[in-house]
A and B are shown apart, each in its own frame.
Chain A
Amino acid sequence: MVHWTAEEKQLIASVWGKVSVEECGAEALARLLIVYPWTQRFFSNFGNLSSPTAIIGNPKVRAHGKKVLTSFGEAVKNLDNIKGTYSKLSELHCEKLHVDPENFRLLGDILVIVLAAHFGRDFTPACQFAWQKLVGVVAHALAHKYH
């Protein structure tokens, strides 16, 4: 089980409280597809992903980004049992979606950068630490059921 200090929990909650799940989710997923274009392999039915502009404006990307970050919220609500929270999703990503877990780390790092751009100086080193830890734990949990 992961140990979270009171400060880490507070930093995570306070950032999350100010996040627009829809905007940040869309932004993070779009950036994943732009910065690491090979990740587009999982989204061949999303339509036009031919340029950064197309990706950012793509409604399927926006919708899926929102879905992904909404799910991330479950981790924030269940910091003490992230593995359990993502057990089914982990199986799904392995058995149905066939996603290399390395992609979870990539998305996690991108989410941190999106938060940094959004919060500016308020995204302090302590904040970054808590969030890098969280995205790492989420990535680990999503990879946990792979076989």
Chain B
Amino acid sequence: MLTGEDKKLIQQVWGKLGGAEEEVGAEALWRMFHSYPPTKTYFPHFDLSQGSDQIRGHGKKVVAALGNAIKNLDNLSQALSELSNLHAYNLRVDPPRFSLQFLSQCLQVVLATRLGKEYTPEVHSAVDKFMSAVAAVLAEKYR
């Protein structure tokens, strides 16, 4: 469960990205495709080469959604409702708790490379919990 402190840390960390959110999204996706090749199976229609426009575009979308979720930490279910429907009925990505775990890991690696020591254990914990909460909401309607 996200505590008040967790929410504060998440908002702070996101604030530290200072406009680099899109790059962060693209890099997280690229790392995910690179470290976990099975995740590529959901993007046969993409140019998955490094720096591709499609990866950048999709990274931007993902990060915008996460940014929106971060603005609505007290009501994730509602904020992510559309995306939850999309993932359950259209995309049918292997239940988010598996695939999102890979995206979560890669997003955290990107944050850690950029923030270094500022990616403290407390921040790490808060972000991990947040991504778990997002995954849970996205998986809500799967069955």
A positions within 8 Å CB-CB of B: 30-31, 34-35, 52, 55-56, 109, 112-114, 116-121, 123, 125-126, 128-129, 132-133
Interface size on B, residues (CB 8 A): 23
Contact B113 A121, beta carbon cutoff 8 Å: yes
Once A31-B121, A119-B113, A120-B113 are accepted as A-B contacts, the answer to whether A125 and B34 lie under 8 Å apart by CB is: yes
- Chain A residues with Cβ under 8 A from B124's Cβ? 31, 34-35, 113
Complex: chain B residue closest to A56, CB-CB: B121
Contact A125 B30, beta carbon cutoff 8 Å: yes
Contact A112 B109, beta carbon cutoff 8 Å: yes
Q: 1/0 contact trace for B95-118 toward A, CB 8 Å? A: 000000000011011101111110
- Chain B residues with Cβ under 8 A from A116's Cβ? 108-110, 112-113
Complex: chain B residue closest to A108, CB-CB: B105
- Chain B residues with Cβ under 8 A from A34's Cβ? 121-122, 124-125
Instruction: Identify which of residues 113-143 in chain B touch chain A, using a CB-to-CB cut-off of 8 Å.
Output: 113-117, 119, 121-122, 124-125, 128
